[in-house]
Each structure stands twice: as C-alpha cells, then as structure tokens.
Amino acid sequence: MTTTASTINTLFSDRAQQVQSSFIRDILKAAGQSNMVSFAGGLPEPSLFPAQHLAKSAYRVLMNNGQQALQYTNTEGYMPLRRFIAERYLRQQKIPIDPEQVLITSGSQQALDLISKLFLDPGDEIIMERPSYLGAIQCFSQYSPVIKEVDLSEQGPNAEQLQELTQEGNIKFFYTIPNYQNPTGKRHGLSSRKETAAIIAQSETFIIEDDPYGEIRFDGEQLPTLHSLLPEQTILLGTFSKMIAPGLRIGWVIATPEIIRKLTVLKQASDLHSSHLDQQVLYDYLTHYDLEEHLQRVSNLYSKRRDIMLEAMKAYFPESVTYQIPEGGMFFWLEFGKQFNAMKLLEKSMKEGIIFVPGETFYASNPVFNTARFNFSNTEEDKMTQSLATLGDLIKKMERGDKPTIKWWPLP
C-alpha cells in the first residue's frame, strides 16, 4: 500500500488531530518573513542576551569538564544548578526548599506538559484564569480536560468563582500566573494571594503557579509566591527564559518530593534529561557573573519601553481604548469599545506592516473580540512610537466606520 497525505492523516492519533497550531507562532512566522514591526510575540530583547559571558562559560565548561558535560546524566538535573535555584528562593521567599524538590525541565513549557501527563485524563476538570497563556491552553488541551475559567480582575482571580468551582467540582488543578500575567500584565495583590491559598487549602486540589515574569519587575515590592503560602498544594514553575535567554531552554519545577519523583519518571520517558552541557554552562554563568545586575538591566530597558508605549497610546489612541499600566513583565492588555473587533484591526494593520495579538486567542472558551495583547519588550523605541501612531489612526477610522454617518430610522 502506498501512503498518501490523506491516508497518513487517518493514522494520526485523536490527540494530534485536535492540537491547533498557536496563532501567535503563525503570525510570528509571517512577521519573520518580512519587515513587520511586531508587538505580537513574547520575545525578550536579544541585545540583552549575555552572549559574551555565556561564550566564556561554555569555553570554561568544555575545556575543564567537557568529557563529563557531554555525557548522559540524571533526569532530575545538574545538582549545583538545583541547589542554586533552591537557595535563591530561600533568600527571596524565606522558605526552605530541598534541592531534591527542584526538577530541571526544558523550559517551563515542558513542565506544563509533564504536569498535564501527571494529572489529566480526558474529561478531568481544571481551572484557568480568563484570559490565560495560550501555550498552556494549547498544552492542556492535548489531554482533553474540561477547562473551567475564573475572571481576572486588577487584584487577581475572582475569589467567589474560585471558591464555587473548587467546592462543587473534582478539580485537578488551578493554573495561575500571579506575576505580570501573560496576556494581561496583571499581578495578583497580596490579599488575593492569601485568599487563593486559603480557598485551595480547603479543597483537594493543586495550584500550578507559573512564574516566568516575576523577576522582570519595574515598580513595587516582590510579593510572596503562592508556593510560599501553601507549599504542600502548590507546584511552582520557573524559567531562565525571560531572565537570561529562552534559547537555553532551561526551566524548573518546585514541588513535594512525591510529585517530583512522579514528574521525573515522566520526564525520563520523554527526553531522558535536559541538555547537560547547557545546564553546566548556565551554572558557570550564574556563579561567575552578577545575575541581579543583569536582571536590573533587563527591567530598566523594559520599563523604559513600557513608558514609551504608554506615552504613545495616550497620545494617539482614542479614549475608548482602555488598559491597566503593567508594573513588570512584557505586555499591555487593551480593551476596545464594545463592538470593536481586534482581529479586523490586525487585518488592516498587517497591511501597514504592524502586528499584535488579538485577545480572542487567549480564552479557553467564549472568546472576547474587543481585546488585544501588545508586547513592549522586543520593539526598538524609535519604531514603537511611529507604529502606535499609525495604529491609533486605524482604530479611529474603524470606530468611525462602526457608526452609521447618517441616522435614518424607517417609519413604522
């Protein structure tokens, strides 16, 4: 029998058939092929990547310890790196974490996949914030859960809805991004964190606390992690992607020893271990250079870009467009007038060489069409203002088009 494209399709699993390509990846691919100004991706600014320092670290590791660094290793990860991560939490969150409770993963995206494998059978219920990270919706959806959603306000997730859902259902976990959330840029306040921890403590479920942006802070104090408030029922995910460079593909999971053991077996079956060489190079970098100074440089540049985006939106966008000012992270979340369709704006702005992500892609169900996510970390300052002025004109034109210019009512 010869296999054609259509017969191959019938061989694919149900899981593969239902996974959708990420809308963001698709438009980024389109942007990569041309000279677009992109507010679309969640990309760090590449000039901040410490390439010279990492080159020196790679040289040191390969020259001094190459035979070992290039060998297979254990699944849990490079122990000095795990210890470094545990000690940093102790300093910052005042909570002791045994390095054995740290599992190194290939980015936090792999952690999401391993957690899905650990907890989800088809039809299981989980809770997500509304809206939430597209990569998590995409990842969880492979395992066919029923996704319940809680609204996200400026203070944090809606506590009443969370309480109701955790009481009534058999919820496997509540997935949350408490710091400068992707896509909304919102940060949960201290009282919201305490309330979330108290609600989950009364139920038999877990919090999956995804924290890639917590260290990219512009204003305000560091707040306690949900993990520090409820360690037994929280699985905390971290990553070096936004702190140092996503190409390293190094993240981690913090959880109870029992959960780490289970996740380790699943990771073993998946990829044996994350790159041993990269873990050693990263550890060398972390112990030879000043991470805090580097993070300050990252936060300073992003905070400057946030301000430029803010000023441009104030100057060029109509008042119907509203947003909260993010105090860290990489995103503004915009809400347009009620009838506005952000996807239509994208169609028009692409013709002007500008892209962003319409908000509808970030909802697990019942998408909201008058929202959009704008990234400010990856666009050079001079291009930002000009492009936002162009977008402001497009929005105003679309708004005028939404309303009939001549009011005429047929007589009864």
Ligand X SMILES: Cc1ncc(COP(=O)(O)O)c(C=O)c1O
Please report, as ranges, the residues that interact with ligand X according to CB under 6 A.
42, 107-109, 133, 135, 177, 182, 210, 212, 239, 241, 246, 251
Closer to ligand X at the Cβ: 25 or 53? 25
Closer to ligand X at the Cβ: 128 or 309? 128
Closer to ligand X at the Cβ: 256 or 378? 378
The DSSP letter of residue 40 is -
Cα 166 to chain center, whole Å?
24
Within 10 Å of residue 92's Cβ, how many Cβ atoms? 14
For residue 239, count CB atoms less than 10 angstroms from its CB and return exposed for 0-12, middle for 13-18, buried for 19 or more. Answer: buried
Closer to ligand X at the Cβ: 203 or 324? 324
Closer to ligand X at the Cβ: 340 or 362? 362
Task: Give the β-pairing of 251-254 and 234-239.
Answer: antiparallel
Shortest Å distance, C-beta 255 to ligand X: 16
Shortest Å distance, C-beta 277 to ligand X: 18
- Measured distance CA(168)–CA(144) in Å, rounded: 20
Closer to ligand X at the Cβ: 158 or 274? 274
**Sheet strands (E) in 289-345:** 322-323, 331-335
Closer to ligand X at the Cβ: 246 or 328? 246
Contacts of residue 207, Cβ cutoff 8 Å, sequence gap at least 6? 173, 174, 176, 196, 197, 200, 226, 227, 230, 233, 234, 235
DSSP code string of 209-237 = EE-SSTT-B-SS-----HHHH-GGGEEEE
Q: How far, in Å, are 10, 137, 154, 263 from residue 140 at the CA level? A: 23, 5, 25, 16
Q: For ligand X, which residue has the nearest CB?
A: 107
Shortest Å distance, C-beta 136 to ligand X: 6
Shortest Å distance, C-beta 212 to ligand X: 5
Cα 131 to chain center, whole Å?
12
For residue 314, count CB atoms less than 10 angstroms from its CB and return exposed for 0-12, middle for 13-18, buried for 19 or more. Answer: exposed
Whole-angstrom distance between the N-terminal and C-terminal Cα of the chain?
Answer: 69
Closer to ligand X at the Cβ: 116 or 163? 116
Shortest Å distance, C-beta 106 to ligand X: 7
Shortest Å distance, C-beta 105 to ligand X: 8
Shortest Å distance, C-beta 119 to ligand X: 17
Whether the Cβ atoms of residue 106 and residue 250 lie closer than 8 Å to each other: yes
Shortest Å distance, C-beta 256 to ligand X: 21
Which contacts (CB < 8 Å, 24+ apart) does range 148-153 have?
149/363, 149/364, 149/365, 150/174, 152/181, 152/184, 152/186, 153/186
Shortest Å distance, C-beta 134 to ligand X: 9
Contacts of residue 80, Cβ cutoff 8 Å, sequence gap at least 6? 283
Closer to ligand X at the Cβ: 113 or 195? 113
